Amino acid sequence: MPMKSLVVRYLSLVKFSHTIFAMPFALIGFFLAVRWQHYPFSWALFGKVILCMVFARSAAMAFNRILDLEYDRLNPRTAQRELPTGRISYRQAVMFTLLNVLLFIFTTYFINRICFYLSPVALAVVLGYSYTKRFTAFSHLVLGLGLSLAPIGAYLAVVGHFHWLPLIYSGVVICWVAGFDIIYSLQDVGFDQALHLYSMPVWLGKARALQVSAVLHLLSAGGVVLAGWLAHFGWLYWVGVGWFAFMLWYQHRLVTPDDISRVNLAFMTTNGIASCVFALFVILDLFIS
């Protein structure tokens, strides 16, 4: 198998494009630490933070594909993924997962002591998510918790201790991710019901699940407002807040209980744009305002 083709298959296996969700918040955490704590910018450290994000997320996604293999074979929406079709073998996926776990821990060792000590905790959260839909409708919040480690972890990588502001952004990420994951899970309500899997739409129905998603997104928007107010950000930050809030509102205009045809637009496009643009304005505000 040509190396280029294999790399493309692994990138597809872990949905590498979805890194766009958490990565901008990791950058926020990193530059908050650099700017507020007056640490000199280091390309080496910046690269290690990016690598940690890539390794942890790749391990989590590959592990999810391994654990869900039998479900993915049965679900028409997922039957063409790499593992069900054999484009990547089960053994290759396991080895890829283990490699990324080890690379993540190895990289944290060269960042600082607290990141290294907490690396098993981070892995337990991001890998553990894959089990949750088997026993709880709150699995969406666990996914959010996993991605919420991005701003905290990036901040810790720079300064080596916790701070309240990255914790607020982590709360923002939990609510934001859980909200859009509920929307995404609307696609599989019938399948999940048939196989006794859990989700908010299965538990509450589509209409009420969308209401829960809207509340979570309202809390997420409130979190970025709270962070901006407490930290006395400048006008560029508030432009980013306005954009972020608008994109949260807009995705709820795209999906209704009776029409989920635009779920992918609501899930991927609006949220990817929301996180990237918001992070851009936060970072600009840190260095310009």
Q: pLDDT digits over 232-254, tens only?
A: 999 999 999 999 999 999 999 99
Which pair of tokens denotes residue 225?
A: 């407002």
> What is the pLDDT at residue 262?
86
Handedness of CA 124, 125, 129, 131 (dihedral sign): positive
Q: How far apart are the first and last CA of the chain?
A: 51
Q: How confident is the model at residue 272 (pLDDT cuts 50, 70, 90)?
A: confident
Residue written as tokens 């306005």?
242
Burial class (CB in 10 A: 0-12, 13-18, 19+), 169: buried
Q: Is the pLDDT of residue 1 over 60?
A: no
Number of separate helices (H) and strands (E) present in the chain = 15, 0
Render the burial of 117-134: b for 16+ CB within 10 Å, e for the rest.
eebeebbebbbebbebbe
Burial class (CB in 10 A: 0-12, 13-18, 19+), 238: middle
Q: Is the pLDDT of residue 21 over 90?
A: no
User: Is the distance from CB of 263 to CB of 183 less than 8 angstroms?
Assistant: yes
Q: Domain spans of the chain? A: 3-288
pLDDT (tens digit per residue) in 156-211: 999 999 999 999 999 999 999 999 999 999 999 999 999 999 999 999 999 999 99
Average pLDDT value for residue range 126-153: 95
Single-letter residue type at 152: I
Q: How confident is the model at residue 5 (pLDDT cuts 50, 70, 90)?
A: confident
> What is the pLDDT at residue 60?
93
* Residues 31, 237: Cα–Cα separation, whole Å: 14
pLDDT (tens digit per residue) in 49-62: 999 999 999 999 99
Based on its alpha-carbon atoms, the radius of gyration of the chain, rounded to whole angstroms, reads 19
Q: Tell me the HSE value of 248 on the side-chain side, using a 13 A CA sphere.
A: 27
> What is the pLDDT at residue 165?
94
Q: Is the pLDDT of residue 10 over 80?
A: no
Q: Is the pLDDT of residue 24 over 80?
A: yes
What is the CATH T-level fold of the domain 3-288, as seen in this structure? Tetracycline Repressor; domain 2 (1.10.357)
Element (H, E) at 252: helix 235-254
